[in-house]
Amino acid sequence: MIAIFAQQIVLGLLLGALYGLATVGLALVFGVMKVLNVSHGELIMFGGYASFWLLSLYGVDPYLSIFLSMLILFLMGVGLQKGLFVHVTKLGEAVRIKNSLLIGFGLGLIMHNLAILFWTADERSITPAYAGLGTSIFGVVLPLTRVGGLFVAVLAIAILHYFLNRTYLGKSIRATAEDWESATLMGIDIQKTYLVSFALGCALAGVAGTLVGVGYYISPAIGLEWTLKSLIVIVLAGLGSISGIFLGGLLLGVAEALGGFFIGMIYRDLVALILFFSVLLFKPEGLFARRMR
């Protein structure tokens, strides 16, 4: 019984790491630009398909194709920002969220249907030769691909944290998120900062999509699911801290795993919603917003 309980916690942490990584890109864009890109889940889906086809057609290992997936999604983010979201960022902050929601919903529908057109609606998994390997510690099974996903997620969060805190461009992004008007007076190019932030958020979605494809599955239908999970994590953790967002993802993953263990797997999403509404009611600023500031 203890081993089964520990197994669920481990699986929850492995899934939660992906929740955290998937959410960081969305939170970065929203925190800096005040733009809510609800097509973020479709970007994750595209990242997964990029690595899937790189493995299927050219035999590129998924942990190597992460870099190509990042590049593809980064360039896609540049195009989306320059072609669509740049017009939203010129509006007042009160209007940005509403207009970005409309653009995001439309963009998500387009990307969803394009994925069905090009790759059908079938579920696919990225299965390298070592996909079925793993190890066991005290009766707890550790799948190799999911543990690798945890390692990559932690590494990506650490690199992003260093970038935001130690580089000039990263500090410009943080300053813009705090007060874009003051950042402008200090000589920061706001539109360039918005462009880098949006493209970087899309690149992180590409990393998450690869890891989702390796550890779980991808299909055109996963976009909405991962967008909703990311929004739940943002509410749980609160904005303002990369580390807090990642911890929020871990919390959601463990909560879902334990909920599935005690009351049934079909109710795991219900557990996430209960946690979501509980935080909204009793700590609407987020569980880690004040602690991690």
How many structural domains comprise the chain?
A: 1
**The pLDDT of residue 291 is above 60:** no
pLDDT for res 161: 93
**Quick check: 293 pLDDT over 50?**
no
Give the pLDDT band of residue 1 (cuts 50, 70, 90).
Answer: low
Q: For residue 270, what pLDDT is reported?
A: 86
Query: Domain span at residue 183?
Result: 2-292
pLDDT score, position 289: 67
Nearest to 20 by CA among 112, 209, 211, 153: 153
Q: What is d(CA 201, CA 90) in angstroms, rounded to the nearest whole number?
A: 19
What is residue 204's predicted lDDT score, i.e. its pLDDT?
96
CATH label of the domain that carries residue 192:
1.10.3470
Its pTM stands at 0.93
Least confident of 22-36, 167-181, 253-267: 253-267
Q: What is the mean pLDDT of residues 86-90?
A: 88
Torsion, CA 231, CA 234, CA 239, CA 241, rounded to 10: -130
Q: How would residue 132 be classed by pLDDT, with cut points 50, 70 and 90?
A: confident
Phi, psi of 143 (to 5 degrees): -65, 135
